[in-house]
Structure 1
Amino acid sequence: MHHPPASALAVPGLPDISERLYNQDLAPTKAAGRRWTSYSIFTLWANDVHSLGNYTFAIGLFALGLGAWQILMALGVGAVLLFALLTFSGFMGYKTGVPFPVMSRISFGIHGAQIPALIRGGVAIAWFGIQTYLASLVLRVLLIALSPGLANLDQNSILGLSTLGWVAFLALWVVQVVIVRYGMDMIRKYEAVAGPIILFTMIALAVWMFAKAGGSIALSKPDALTGGAMWREIFAGGALWVSIYATFLLNFCDFTRSSTTRKSIIKGNFWGIPINMLLFGLIVVVLTGAQFKINGVIINSPSDIVESIPNTLLLILAALALIILTVAVNLMANFVAPIYALTNLLPKRLNFRRASLVSAIIGLVILPWNLYNSPVVIVYFLGGLGALLGPLFGVIMADYWLLRKAKINVPELYTESGTGAYFYHKGVNPRAILAFIPSAAISLLIAFVPALHSVSPFSWFFGAGIGAVVYLLVADRSRTFEDVSGEPIAVPSLH
């Protein structure tokens, strides 16, 4: 990513930027660094939508009693909402050219922005380790298929992993670290290559299963839901589909800050979200319905089908594709956010490359397989952090679009001057905190209190909506907003 040198970033009449708020990786993206085309955005979604976790979720809708058209409708409802929300979120990154932690300074203040950045980064860093572990499980299957004798190394336990498990995990860990250390442009290139591989593999699996089932599939379980219960699960499924992308809804600007045009965001999102999600839904219906017709079993994820492929060569190719997929998802969904969060925390000491190594080390030392195997950690810790993402989104979007009308003074995002537009009170906007706390509390209650179980799938919407409304009620409307954004963006030099 290309940024101007610090010595060239001067704007007459504005205070110098602070070393505590700025480095080259946090700087607005300049024209030379805008390389994310509509295809780049599309392949980002081509990878992420087809993640194993998403397949597990969608297959779960079949297990809950939804049939083929109901699953497609649930995913369709979520896709339409996501297309709109992600497009507006993406426009913010394109206009300002800044990553999410810097974007958060607009609403929460130059120092208060650490709150949303670290919450988003904290969720991602745990899932980075977990997703690497899940990919390592597929790699273990692949290694044993290539060399059956390696199964002997999969019998012991060292801190919760076998020797083969450690080899597989560390191998994937190293691969991801190497890719990320080359920066966002290398991630873009990896996604561009991985996207078509994933789409081809998943379509091929669906065709193979359809043929294996004799050219027809089960469209639903015998005890499928009907009436009100069916519609409730359809809309709950659509709401949860949006909640799955609560992380991306916040930090999509990390990617669109490098978009070539606004049209590239719209076009990439259109093909990558509603169209790609329809294809995803059809694959889910075929894979699940075919397996259910064959033996009455509901699969957990496509990896179950891959493990049952009788041809060793095809099994190896399919397993490689799933590994490529999981790495692609991990890089963009769970690696970029903590890198920017850590860089924002210590910009004088950490740049993109150093922060990537710190993030990866944390993702390793937390022994993520133990987290994944603990329902308490997954539900209450990671689930709790996830419930906070809706309120953050509501506050930031209400401030940017409804209060400021997208008028942003980008240079002042990097100054600690007391007269700066985003200094507020000692660098923190108390009104944003005031809106965040009650909306976060309500979101957590809806997510975890058993009596509210019927509305828990909608906790993200409650959190985002309440956060936005409360912020608009308490916001300081006496402030005037100056639009100093767009290309080229000039930022004051370091003092």
Structure 2
Amino acid sequence: MSPSIPTGTSPRLHNEDLAPAEHRKWGFYSLFAMWMSDIHSLGGYTFAAGLFALGLGAWQVFLALAVGIIIVFFLMNLSGFAGQKMGVPYPVLARISFGTFGANLPALIRALVAIAWYGIQTWLASRAVIVIVLKVWPDLKGLTGNNFLGESTLGWLAFLLVWALQLLLLRNGMDTIRRFQDWAGPAVWVVMALLVVYILANAGWNISLDLPGGTATWGVTQAFLAAVSLTVTYFSTLLLNFCDFSRFAPTRRAVGTANVWGLPVNFIAFSVVSVVVTAGTFKVYGQYIYDPVDVVGRINSIWALLLGAVTFAIATLGINVVANFVSPAYDLANVWPSKIDFRRGGLIAAVVALVITPWNLFNTPVVINLFLGGLGALLGPLFGIIMIDYYVLRHQHVVVHDLFREEGFYTYSGGWNPKAVLSFVVSAVPAVIIALVPTFAVLSAFSWFIGAAIAAVVHYLISRNDPRIAESVRAAMAEEAGAQPPQARTA
């Protein structure tokens, strides 16, 4: 049970959804199932096979996946343990380093990335719905011939159906989401296991795991390190806001154990299965098929098609909720806590995701590369600043109730910490340039690491002698020892 928030909190900073969690129902299994939902998606299925395009062989791809996910495991624990200890979501955690109001900067950057991908993933899930509908009612194919804002009538209907289904998860907030994740992630494993058996049996139990790939333009070593880095970058969004889930965990051990089984073990196993199925399709169908829905669709059984399409639609909804729905709900609530709670934040995010017609984003490479690629490059610097501040500068000692006060240790200058903002700008510029400018293509896969490292070093160097940080640490330690903390300086 987390400590209750005392009097003196500001309605501009506090509501029940942002306050430290009191009901800790996300135990080991719920967090483990959450990771299954995040990984067992169409994107997760194709990710491992996509690494062969770097010019790597099978053993090199699998080794890169293993190294990358182990790095993810350790980094994810940083966000997870912080959330579990204080019981606060990502935008509140960001207040420690960026300031009580300055935290809106990292929160809104994360929200923009999430909302764009929320719409795109919703649209991708609707593709599976269309496959089902046309298989059951082929006469509806006539609804696919027109075009309104870039999508057909059937496409709009399928998208709106999936969009509305996700809103049902708002009914009871995070508790409904937890119950959904508890069965959604494992359900995909059942279908994938059946698919593996079917493909291997039809391939005579003899396949080659060396998928066709590209050429290692800058050498095998660079390609291997790029594969490791891309594995970490794949999880870059949740590296920031995993605390949105771990804040509901009853113990630190539950977080760590769930991360072990949900990340290294589950991710590697799912990647191997994905590569096995993709490799087997060449022997069975004479071509490599990278879309599992397409693989299932080639099975001569309406029930197999329905089971596969429904399952992978659910899988896409699962990752959408985990990576792209919960975060903007909290991030938008952080902007105006007195008016926007978790449910309203989620509704706003869903409406924006609808208005932007995400299929037009997805089908425009320039938008994907510049807008989402540029925003994605900013996530590394945010992670570097927040984590170096919490673990190295403050040694995990935080006066939690001051995160909800307008006059406290984390007010800095008008609610903004200029040093964190400076650290962000200094690191964000090179991260974005490396990610987007073709001249630096050899380094583009490493933009997350480069941005995070620069941000962490700069923020540490300009903040290590800040007396306000030392003062807040002493106050937090006194509070943890049961003493009355001293009054904060706000200037």
Same topology, TM > 0.5: yes
Q: Aligned residue for 1:186?
A: 176
Change (3 A) 1:9 1:394: closer
Q: Aligned residue for 1:18?
A: 10
Pick which of 104-113 and 287-296 moved more: 287-296
Q: Which amino acid aligns with 2:189?
A: L
Change (3 A) 1:290 1:138: same
- Report how far residue 50 of structure 1 moved: 1.8
Change (3 A) 1:224 1:177: closer
For 2:212 and 2:255, the matched residues in 1 are separated by 42
Change (3 A) 1:429 1:259: same
Change (3 A) 1:223 1:167: closer
Q: Aligned residue for 1:29?
A: 21
Pick which of 443-452 and 392-401 moved more: 443-452
Q: Which amino acid aligns with 1:477?
A: D
Q: How does 1:374-453 map to 2 (within 5 A)?
A: 374-417=364-407, 420-453=408-441
Where 1:386 maps in the other structure, the secondary structure is helix
2:66 paired with 1:68: no
Change (3 A) 1:230 1:291: farther
- Report how far residue 387 of structure 1 moved: 0.3
Q: How does 1:148-167 map to 2 (within 5 A)?
A: 148-167=138-157
For 1:226 and 1:110, the matched residues in 2 are separated by 46
Pick which of 367-376 and 220-229 moved more: 220-229
Q: Aligned residue for 1:126?
A: 116
2:37 paired with 1:50: no
5+ residue gaps, structure 2: 485-491
Change (3 A) 1:361 1:486: farther
Q: How does 1:14-413 map to 2 (within 5 A)?
A: 16-30=8-22, 33-221=23-211, 229-294=219-284, 297-413=287-403
Change (3 A) 1:328 1:157: same
For 1:329 and 1:207, the matched residues in 2 are separated by 25
Pick which of 93-102 and 178-187 moved more: 178-187
Q: Aligned residue for 2:488?
A: none
- Does the 8 A contact of 1:443 with 1:463 survive in 2? yes
Q: Which amino acid aligns with 2:383?
A: F
- Does the 8 A contact of 2:230 with 2:446 survive in 1? yes
For 2:480 and 2:372, the matched residues in 1 are separated by 36
For 1:99 and 1:216, the matched residues in 2 are separated by 48
Where 2:129 maps in the other structure, the secondary structure is helix
For 2:380 and 2:217, the matched residues in 1 are separated by 30
Where 1:483 maps in the other structure, the secondary structure is helix
- Report how far residue 380 of structure 1 moved: 0.4
For 1:487 and 1:204, the matched residues in 2 are separated by 55
Deviation sequence 1:142-187 (CA, Å, 0-9, x none): 1111111121211111111111111111111111001123200111
Pick which of 385-394 and 179-188 moved more: 179-188
2:454 paired with 1:454: no
Where 2:304 maps in the other structure, the secondary structure is helix
2:457 paired with 1:469: yes
Q: Which amino acid aligns with 2:467?
A: S
Q: Aligned residue for 1:483?
A: 476
Change (3 A) 1:209 1:138: same
Change (3 A) 1:71 1:415: same
- Report how far residue 424 of structure 1 moved: 0.6
- Report how far residue 224 of structure 1 moved: 7.5
- Report how far residue 23 of structure 1 moved: 0.7
Q: Aligned residue for 1:493?
A: none
Q: Which amino acid aligns with 2:422?
A: L
Of structures 1 and 2, the one with the larger relative CO (CA 8 A, separation 6+) is: 1
- Report how far residue 296 of structure 1 moved: 5.2
Deviation sequence 1:378-418 (CA, Å, 0-9, x none): 1000110000000000000000000000001000001111x
- Report how far residue 256 of structure 1 moved: 0.4
- Does the 8 A contact of 1:218 with 1:293 survive in 2? no
TM-score normalised by the chain length of structure 1: 0.92
For 1:90 and 1:311, the matched residues in 2 are separated by 43
Deviation sequence 1:318-363 (CA, Å, 0-9, x none): 1010011011111111001111111111111111122221111111
For 2:118 and 2:326, the matched residues in 1 are separated by 10
- Report how far residue 226 of structure 1 moved: 8.2
Q: Aligned residue for 2:489?
A: none
For 2:405 and 2:252, the matched residues in 1 are separated by 28
Q: Which amino acid aligns with 2:476?
A: D
- Report how far residue 53 of structure 1 moved: 1.2
5+ residue gaps, structure 1: 491-495
For 2:212 and 2:131, the matched residues in 1 are separated by 33
Pick which of 350-359 and 18-27 moved more: 350-359
- Report how far residue 231 of structure 1 moved: 3.3
- Does the 8 A contact of 1:65 with 1:221 survive in 2? no
Change (3 A) 1:386 1:197: same
For 2:216 and 2:389, the matched residues in 1 are separated by 41
- Does the 8 A contact of 2:86 with 2:400 survive in 1? yes
For 1:34 and 1:69, the matched residues in 2 are separated by 41
Where 2:219 maps in the other structure, the secondary structure is helix
